[in-house]
Amino acid sequence: MTTIAKINLGENGPLVSKLGLGCMRMSPVWGGPANDENESIATIRQALDNGINFLNTGDFYGSGHNELLVGKAIKGRRDDAFISVKFGAIFYGNQWLGVDLRPNAIKNFINYSLVRLGIDTIDLYQPCRLDGSVPVEDVIGTVADLIKEGKVRYLGVSEINEKQLRLANSIHPVTALEIGYSLADRQIESDLLPAAKELGIGVVAFANTAEGLLTGEMKAPLAASAYQNHFSRFQGENLIKNLEKVEVLKQMATEKGCTPTQLAIAWVNAQGGHIMPLVSMSRRSRLPENMEAMTIEFTADEINKLNTHFSPGSILGSTYLQR
């Protein structure tokens, strides 16, 4: 199996795998059934065996289910894993109610996370987003206090804009920015990505296949139960035209002897040594193909073709990833 390279997460951050494992889909986040727990745990452990040490979870994934799952998987292997936890989202009855970023709430959240994970310190702790309900100084300042107390090692931020990133970093050094990024979602290239690079902040890039659009397997119309139906990108003529754009990716994948999904991950990986593709997996069978994607290289002509074909704004309609 492919050996996963290690990178520093940010200019002065810890050494982590260049490929991250997203654990969210192992839990029933939006009310769907949970995946087979034994298979999920086996997937995490096999990822660790193969050098993928960056594990991404959230205290609200399955109302704590995901943290409990990760905790079981890393039991006896704490030193093998780098644990990234998002906090702040509030759900009730599988419905999003908003975020709670009050300092007292954050202090409460982390105690539950530490117990569920079965660890003493969270490696990377980050608000799931900053919505203006609590001053950024209070949110980041609270995590900085947790770092001083030894409950957290590094500060992360997620789904924020350039102004918020600079402000957060001025309060306490930000180690990593978690953000959606793919060939179909490149709006962060104009401001947020350059700011992260300038400030020496690592980028953890999720949604590499743009919610399934770039897998080459999506067909119009989607099933009525598909969550993507909530977003205009996946509706009506938008979806038809967007899937036509994906044909170029499918053709290149065929020529290079890989899948469109692997190409989508490889493109994100190729955007810089400070950028980590964060890929959701819940089955061991997915590990080899996603690890292999990290070895795919592009010629200058291939990169130019993809960048031109999927230029910012070329995909019609919006998703929650667009700010």
Instruction: Answer for the pair 197, 217: CB distance below 8 angstroms, yes or no.
Output: no
Say which residues have a Cβ less than 8 Å from residue 113's Cβ, sequence separation at least 6: 59, 67, 85, 87, 122
What is the dihedral sign for C-alpha 194, 156, 271, 228?
negative
Q: Distance between CA 59 and CA 66 in Å, rounded?
A: 7
With beta carbons less than 8 A apart as the criterion, state whether 85 and 116 touch: no
The conformational region for residue 289 under phi > 0 = left, psi -120 to 50 = alpha, else beta, is alpha
Tokens 């530490």 correspond to 114
Site of tokens 């804009």: 161
Q: b vs e for 50-60, b when ≥16 Cβ sit within 10 Å of the residue's Cβ?
A: bbbbbbbbbbb
Which helix or strand (DSSP H or E) is residue 308 part of?
helix 300-309
Closest by Cα among 272, 299, 278 to 290: 278
Which among 114, 9, 3 has a CA at the least distance from the CA of 49?
Answer: 3
The closest of 37, 90, 44 to 65, measured between CA atoms, is 37
**Residue in 61, 125, 154, 181 annotated catalytic:** 61
Which pair of structure tokens corresponds to residue 31? 């009310």
320 is catalytic: no
- C-alpha to C-alpha distance for 7 and 275, rounded to whole angstroms: 9
**Helices and strands in the chain: count of H runs, count of E runs:** 10, 12
- Residue pair 48/81 in contact (Cβ under 8 Å)? The answer is yes
Among all residues, which ones are annotated catalytic?
61
